[in-house]
Amino acid sequence: MNRSYHQRQHLPLHRLCHYHQQLPRQLHHHHQLQEPLPQLRHHHQQPPPPHQPRHHRQLQGLLLQLRLQQPHDQQQQQPHHHQQQPLVNNPWICSNMTVLQQKDMPGNDMSNQQSVNYTQCCILCLSMSGCRGFVWGWPNNTDSFQQSHCWLKNILVAPISNAQFTCAHF
């Protein structure tokens, strides 16, 4: 029996009570499945902060829908070997140079400067044409001349072990 839209909207009171009684049972059943009823999903979504642009809110909604569509066991399983993230705040990063701790590259100095930290030494090398690497003396170096000293290199030699230096090169 096809009812018109108007007739469907005005259900008798006993039918409304039947739907109302069935709703908790349906909700309980769907909570066991870890997914809300499709018509109730919007109640589980947190409204986005009002300061976000509209396209951000749309993107968040799409991501939430995709997450809700995944089986529950896939949402919690995340492979550990794929979670490596770059170290953004690693103080030893200098462009794409290879950094070697406790190593020195003696000779072939194109320039040197004292009283600089590692980051300043890196910037000096990156800003100087022809610099292929640098050596930085640690601040606690036993030789005061080598403390916080930066040597810029235009020719690279094989690094040697030296406990109070860090070298970096392209």
**Residue 31: what pLDDT?**
46
Q: Please list the ranges in the chain whose pLDDT falls under 70.
A: 1-88
Phi-psi region of 115 (alpha: psi -120 to 50; beta: other; left: phi over 0): left
pTM (predicted TM-score)? 0.49
Q: Has residue 112 been placed in a domain? A: yes
Strand partners, 134: 152, 168
Please give the tally of structural domains in the chain: 1
Domain range for residue 158?
A: 98-169
Q: 3-class SS at 103? A: strand
Sign of CA dihedral 28, 31, 32, 38: positive
CATH number at residue 118: 3.50.4.10
Contact between 149 and 112 under an 8 Å Cβ cutoff? The reply is yes
**Residue 43: what pLDDT?**
45
**Residue 90: what pLDDT?**
83
Contact between 154 and 110 under an 8 Å Cβ cutoff? The reply is yes
Q: Has residue 152 been placed in a domain? A: yes
